[in-house]
Amino acid sequence: MTDEPSREPARDPQDLERLLIARQWAGDVDGMAALFEPHAVIDSGEGQLTLGRRAIRALFAEITATGRKFQSGDQRPAVVSGDLALTSTRLPDGTVTTEVARRQSDGTWLWVIDRFSVS
């Protein structure tokens, strides 16, 4: 597992998806959760909301333990307004994800809202 100080930060909202996938493939569940603000929320479907970084880490640990690997898709250009950005990706299976990221005080980006599927 990678030490936190050596993790690449998301300097652009478009970096978040790539970093999430790379960290999952490396088994870095803590690094996956670190891409989210402390009070972020994930809507993983079927009305199930995951609130907060600790719960997000547990969700990603569960997903990773199944052996399921996230896949890269067709990432749409981020829509940025000030310190907020809307990111989205069409995955190979046709699923579309949407996320809201926020620029942090150090200029890096973290997700604050993540919806696994909007289609």
End-to-end CA distance of the chain: 34
- Parse the chain into domains and list their residue ranges: 10-115
User: What is the value of pTM for the model shown?
Assistant: 0.91
Q: Does domain 10-115 have CATH number 3.40.630.40?
A: no
| Alpha helices in 3-118, H assignment, sequence order | 15-25, 29-33, 53-65
Q: Does residue 3 surpass a pLDDT of 80? A: no
CB 42 within 8 Å of CB 50: yes
* Percent over 90 (pLDDT), the chain: 81
Q: Does residue 58 surpass a pLDDT of 60? A: yes
What is d(CA 22, CA 1) in angstroms, rounded to the nearest whole number? 12
Residue among 54, 46, 60, 21 nearest 117 (CA):
46
| Of 83 and 68, more confident | 83
